[in-house]
Structure 1
Amino acid sequence: MLGIFLETVNITAPVFAMLFLGVLLKRIGWINDGFIITASALVFNATMPALLFLGIIHADLHAALQPKLLIYFTVATLAGFAFAWGYAIWRAPLIDRGIFVQGAFRGNNGVIGLALAASMYGDYGISLGAILAALIILFYNTLSTIVLAVYSPVIKSDPWSIFKSILANPLIISVLAAAPFAYFSIGLPKWLETSGSYLAQMTLPLALICIGGTLSLASLRKSGKLAISASMVKMIWLPVICTFGAWLVGFRHAELGILFLYFGSPTAAVSFVMARAANGNHELAAAIIVITTLAAAVTTNIGIFILQWGGWI
């Protein structure tokens, strides 16, 4: 348990370092709102798609393809999204519902979830985690586009417009483009892959600095109750319900452990970028990311302890 705790801290501490760097840079005037808007657009349109594309083409889609697990993961994700949306209708004002729902269901599986899966289960955790990550990227971005469009003042919400927004989402385009490369094991020229890696490596630091530059004590106080409410759904209710459902279905050992790590991962940093792109309450999005990332160091260890104590993983 100490090893898992230290691994969680090693993953979350750099995240907070980048967040606080963003706060510092904004405070001393080295970045401003114009930089944050431009950099957020760069992450959404270029660096994040590059990161996803390279991550998927390196995944072995044949190694850990488990239809039962993928079906459960899909159903649980859709159910979690529906639960978060229903809860948002009850708890959140109309203008903030899209941001609330995205923050409450969209996990950071590609970074924190996958890293913890690899730490606990080695190569098997990497192969199974990568397949789940590829699947969830499609669902997260599609569902986020839908719910943000419904409540966004700048995105049309009729079915055809939403469909076009989904197809035009750079993150979804990158996943679809990478799928045949991964399936047929098609490699890229070395120079192109290296250049793409340079671009992809900018994603997390730049996104987190932008989030930090948006944060302020005033915005955290303003978003306090709403951000905490969304964070409770993301870090407690959904992991408990979805992991218990996986246990009832019959998953045990590594499969159950990896499902828990993915359901219990904190809100993804890209949710802030999409909130800005939708002209939504990006301060609320940033606050949810900070709260859930801090909570993950506690909830992840508690969940792993309970599952190990029960002999289920």
Structure 2
Amino acid sequence: MAIISIVFPLLFMAVLGYILTTRSVFSKEQIGGISLFTFYLCIPAFLFINMYQADLNKSFNINALISFYLPVLVAYGIGFLLFYFVRRGHQQRIGNSAAYGLGCSYSNTILVGLPIIVGALGQEMMGNVFIIITFHSALLFSLTFILALSRNKAEFKAGPFIKGIVFNPIVMSISLGLAFNLLQIPLADNLASGIDLLSQPALACALFVLGANLSFYKIAKDWKLAIMASLVKLIFLPALVYALGSMFRLEANLLAVLVLLSASPLGINAYLVAMQVQAQQAVIASTVVLSTALCVFTMSFWLSVLL
């Protein structure tokens, strides 16, 4: 399959969202409404119905989990140390290094990774995708909060944080789909058709919203830090996943899923976490923009290697 045939439709939707928003066809409030519809209805419906229909016997693979999450933690650690030594001599806070580590390791699995995997490998790989990404946000966000707020325990409230993770629409929809699948709970045909209809615009809306949101962020003065984080995120991390997955002799399509997920650009949620811990918001926002723009080229490279 030609790489351009996979990348172009995704790029088209993101660029369309960016252009229409910068030209004020859609306001920030209107994009906010589309975002709510997308992330609280369409994407959860998409994740639930695909997890419900997934063949779990072919999805769970402990070597695949190690091949994805070990490199993610390594990239986080490298980002943490990289920021610490680059900014040595400046006023240093663990929170700054923790936020930068998140910027080097957190992938936009839903808005970018998922559409590319569907386009390149088809719907049959969805079960593998969901098993991999179920703990993605919980792991990296928890690590960042714990490190960033370790010196001020009064700022970290475990209850609201755990509630936010458990009741996150992404986590809930995948968990419910998994439970219904494992327990073999039947869905009424009309209900299943309704959920399927609601799920259909999920990927297109997600890409449109991604492009629109990029128009709200600007490249900060610390663009060198953003470039370093983008290189770790888009090149080093997927290369490490590829090497470890190859060492475990993972099946080709499964290896492709892992690499493409890890090669996705930095997700916008990392910026929200940086705001919560009040650390490196400008750098993380710049990394979101840069890594998303650069991933057009790096994703094309990884697709050419994997397919």
Give the alignment's TM-score, normalised by structure 1: 0.73
* AA partner of residue 138 (structure 2): T
Kindly indicate whether residue 131 of structure 2 is the aligned counterpart of residue 135 of structure 1: yes
CA distance in 2, matches of 1:102, 1:23: 28
Contact 2:266 2:288 in 1 (8 A): yes
1:134-213 aligned within 5 A: 134-150=130-146, 151=148, 156-157=155-156, 162-189=161-188, 190-191=190-191, 192-193=194-195, 196-197=198-199, 200=202, 204=206, 207-208=209-210, 211-213=213-215
Task: Give the unaligned 5+ runs of structure 2.
Answer: none
Q: Deviations over 1:99-139 (max 9, x none)?
A: 533332222334543444444445xxx43x32332133322
Aligned to 2:72: 77
> Which residue is 1:214 aligned to?
216
Residues 4 and 253 of structure 1: is their aligned pair in 2 closer, same or farther, counting only changes over 3 Å? same
2:47 maps to amino acid:
L
Cα displacement string for residues 5-51 of structure 1 (whole angstroms, at most 9, x for unaligned residues): 442233223223212322222xx7x524x666676666665555444
Q: Which moved more, 1:12-21 or 1:181-190?
A: 181-190
Contact 2:51/2:181 (CA < 8 Å) preserved in 1? yes
The count of aligned residue pairs is 296
Structure 1 residues 132 and 253: CA distance shift in structure 2, 3 A? closer
Which one-letter code corresponds to 1:56 in the other structure?
M
145 and 120 in structure 1: CA distance in 2 versus 1, 3 angstrom threshold: closer
Partner residue of 1:108?
108
State percent identity of aligned pairs.
20
Aligned-pair distance for 1:180? 0.9
Q: In the TM superposition, what is the alpha-carbon distance from 1:220 to its structure 2 partner?
A: 1.2
Q: Is the 8 A contact 1:113 1:262 kept in 2?
A: yes
Q: Name stretches of at least 5 consecutive residues in structure 1 with no aligned partner.
A: none
Return the offset for 1:213: 4.4
Matched position secondary structure for 2:102: helix
The answer to whether the 8 A contact 1:266-1:296 is kept is yes
Higher mean alpha-carbon deviation, 286-295 vs 238-247, is at 286-295
Give yes or no for contact 2:128–2:257 (8 Å, CA) kept in 1.
no
Asked whether the equivalents of residues 113 and 261 of structure 2 are also in contact (C-alpha less than 8 Å), the reply is yes
Query: How does 1:53-68 map onto structure 2 within 5 Å?
Result: 53-68=48-63
For residues 273 and 43 of structure 1, what CA distance do their matches in structure 2 show?
18
Q: By how many angstroms is 1:242 displaced?
A: 2.2
Look up the match of 1:248.
Answer: 247
Is the 8 Å Cα contact of residues 109 and 261 (structure 2) preserved in structure 1?
yes
1:261 aligns with 2:260: yes
Provide the rounded CA distance (Å) in 2 between the counterparts of 1:265 and 1:84.
17
Tell whether the 8 Å contact from 2:100 to 2:280 is kept in structure 1 after alignment: no
The alpha-carbon deviation at position 196 of structure 1 amounts to: 4.1
Tell me by how many angstroms 1:267 deviates.
2.5
What is the root-mean-square deviation of aligned Cα atoms in Å?
A: 4.0
**Structure 2 matches for 1:31-70, cutoff 5 A?**
31-32=27-28, 48-70=43-65
CA apart distance, 1:234: 0.7
CA deviation digits over 1:267-308, x for unaligned, max 9? 335545666677776654443233222222222333344x46
Shift of 1:179: 1.5
Alpha carbons 1:99, 1:148 under 8 Å: kept: yes
Cα 1:195–1:248 shift into 2, 3 Å: closer
- Distance in 2 between residues matched to 1:162 and 1:86, nearest whole Å: 26
Query: Measured at CA, do residues 177 and 106 of structure 1 come closer, stay the same or move farther in structure 2, by a change above 3 Å?
Result: same
